[in-house]
Amino acid sequence: MSIGNEDRYVELTTRLRSVEAFCDFLSGGGIVRVADKDGSAFKEVTKVMLARQRREAAAIREMRRTLFPNRPGEEFQPLYSRH
C-alpha cells in the first residue's frame, strides 16, 4: 500500500474512532443541548445527535471497507508514538 493510501486509511480510522467515542459518550449518559439563537432556551437533542453520529460511523466504516477491502478493521501504525 502506498503512503498516500496508508494516510487515507489512518485518517478514516481516526475519524471513525472519534465518532464512535462520541457515540459511547452519548450512550453513557452524555447530553447535547442547543439553543436556536442567542438568549433562547436550550433544548435537548441527544437522541438526534446519537442517531446522526451512528449513521456517520456506519458510512465511514463502509467507505473504509470499500477503499481498503484487504485491510483488517482497526490495525494501523499510530501517527505519533507515546514516550
d(CA 65, CA 72): 9
Position 75 in a domain: no
Residue 29: domain span? 3-66
Q: What pLDDT is attached to residue 5? A: 83
Instruction: Out of 23-32, 64-73, 74-83, pick the least confident.
Output: 74-83
Position 81 in a domain: no
Position 52 in a domain: yes
Query: ∠ CA 76-12-32 to the nearest 5 degrees?
Result: 120
Position 46 in a domain: yes
More confident of the two residues 16 and 3:
16
Position 45 in a domain: yes
- Decide if pLDDT at 73 tops 70: no
Question: The whole model's pTM is what?
Answer: 0.77
- Residue 80: pLDDT band by 50, 70, 90 thresholds? low
Position 33 in a domain: yes
Question: What is the number of structural domains in the chain?
Answer: 1
